[in-house]
Amino acid sequence: MSPFTVGIIGIIVTLLLLLCGLPIGISMILVGFLGFSYLVNIEAAFHIISTVPYALISNYDWLVLPLFLLMGTVLFRAGLGTSLFNLANSVFGRLPGGLSIAALGACGIFAAVSASSIATAVTIGTSAIPEMRRHNYDSGLATGCIAAGGTLGFLIPPSTILIIYGIITETSISKLFMAGVIPGIILTTMFMIMVYIRIRLNPSLAPRGPSTTMREKLQAASECLEVLVLIALVLGGLFIGWFTPTEAGGIAAFGSIVVSLARKKLNWQKFKDSVADAVKSTGMIFLCAIGAFIMIPFIAVSTLPMEMAGRIVDLGIYPTIALVFIILLYFILGCFIDTMAMVLLTVPIFFPLIVNLGYDPIWFGILIALLVEMAMITPPIGMNVYVIAGVAKDVPMETIFKGIFPFVVTLALFIVIIVVFPQLATFLPSILK
C-alpha cells in the first residue's frame, strides 16, 4: 500500500472512530500511533508518543489558551456580560429591534474578552433573551441573534480556534488575532444591519425600544468601564508588542479577577467555579491537541497534503476551485463533526495545500474561524443552538434553527467577501511590528 493510501485510510478510520463515540483526542492518538508504526516502524512511533505530549504540555506558547480561558470564565461567572448588554442597549436600544442589535453588539464586545463562542452566547443570552421575550420579540429572532452573535467569539480576538490554528501551523498568534479584528467588526455590523433590515421589512418581529439620554449612556458605560479598559490594554498591548500572547493571556486573567473583585461580583464560590471551568476546558482542548500532534507526523509521512497539492496542480485545477471545494468540505464536515475535531483533523492536511496554492496562511486562519462559526450554528450539531436552547427552554429547536437561517446566509455572504477581499484580514497584520 502506498503511504498516500495509508493516509487516506487513516483519516477514514479516525472519522469512523469519532462516529463510534471515541473521544477525538484518543482517536487521533491511536490512529497516529498505528499509522506511523505501519509507515515507519514501531520504535519511531513509541518515540513520538513518549516525546511529543510532554513537549506540547511544557510549551510556553500553548499556555496562552488556559490563561485566556480563565479570563473568559471569570468574567462569565462574575456576570459582567449584563453590564455590556446594558451599555449596548443604551446605544442601540431605540432602533427598531434595538434589543437584538444591542445583544449582537454586546456579543461582539464580550467576544473580545472571551476565547469561547459558547461562553459568549450564554453570557449575553442569559441577560438578553429574557429581556427580548419580555418586549415581545419574535422567539426565532431573539434566540437566533444570540446563537449567531456567540460565534463572534471565534473570530474576534482572543479566539481559541485562532490560537490552535496558529500553533498547529506555526503562524504568529499575534498576527492572527490582529487579522480577526476587521472581519470581526464587519461581521458584527453585517449581523446588525441584517436584523435592522428584517425588522424594517417586517415590524411585527420586534418593537422599537425607548431612547436613552446621554447621562444614561454614560452611566451604562461606567458600569463596564474596567472591562473596556482591560480589552484595550490586553489587545492593545499585544498588537503594540508589549506582551507575548501568553503574557497577554496572563494579564487578561489577572485583570479580570481584579475587575470582578473591585465590582464585588466575584465571591469564593464563583471564583472556584470559574477556575474549575477553565481547568476543565484546558483538559478538554489539550487531549485533542496531544492527539493532533501525534497524528501530524503520520499525516506528514503519508505525504497526503503534498500528494493532494501535486494532484491538483497536475489536473490543472484553478486554485479558486480547490478553495471552493475545501470550503464546501468544511461546511459539510461542520454539520456532523465537532468544530475542534474539524480544525485539528483537517488543518494539518489542508494548510500545506493552501500554502502551495499561494494563499496567505493568516487569511486562511480567518477563513477557518468563519467556517467554524458557520459549523456552530448549522444543523444538526450546531452547538450554539443547543446552548441557546438550554437558556430559552420554552423555545423549540426548530424555531431557533429558523431564526438562525438569515444569520447563516449573512455569514455565507461574508465568507464570499473575505475570499474576494483577503485584504480585510491581511491588512492589519501587515502593519504589525
Residues binding other proteins (CB under 8 A)? 17-26, 29-30, 33-34, 37, 46, 49-51, 53-54, 57-60, 62-63, 66-67, 70, 242-243, 246-247, 249-251, 253-254, 272, 275-276, 278-284, 286-288, 290, 336-338, 340-341, 380-381
* Residues in the chain, total: 433
Q: In the chain, helix, strand, coil percent, each to 5?
A: 80, 0, 20
| Residue 284 vs 355, nearer CB to other proteins | 284
The 3-class secondary structure across 368-400, one letter per residue, is HHHHHHHHHHCCCCCHHHHHHHHHCCCCCHHHH
Q: Least CB distance from residue 24 to other proteins, whole Å? A: 5
Q: Least CB distance from residue 12 to other proteins, whole Å? A: 15
Q: Least CB distance from residue 351 to other proteins, whole Å? A: 21
Given a contact cutoff of 8 angstroms between Cβ atoms, the answer to whether 362 and 425 are in contact is: yes
Q: Least CB distance from residue 343 to other proteins, whole Å? A: 11
| Residue 24 vs 206, nearer CB to other proteins | 24
Sign of CA dihedral 150, 151, 156, 162: positive
Mutual angle of helices 225-240 and 214-223, in 10-degree steps: 60
| Residue 54 vs 325, nearer CB to other proteins | 54
Grid look-up 496572563 returns: 250
| Residue 280 vs 311, nearer CB to other proteins | 280
Q: Least CB distance from residue 76 to other proteins, whole Å? A: 16
Q: Least CB distance from residue 65 to other proteins, whole Å? A: 10
| Residue 20 vs 431, nearer CB to other proteins | 20
Phi then psi dihedrals of residue 267, to 5 deg: -100, 180
* Alpha-carbon span 27 to 420, nearest angstrom: 36
| Residue 254 vs 331, nearer CB to other proteins | 254
* Alpha-carbon span 152 to 117, nearest angstrom: 7
Q: Is 271 helix (H, G, I), strand (E, B) or coil?
A: helix
Cα atoms in the 13 Å half-sphere on the side-chain side of 20: 9
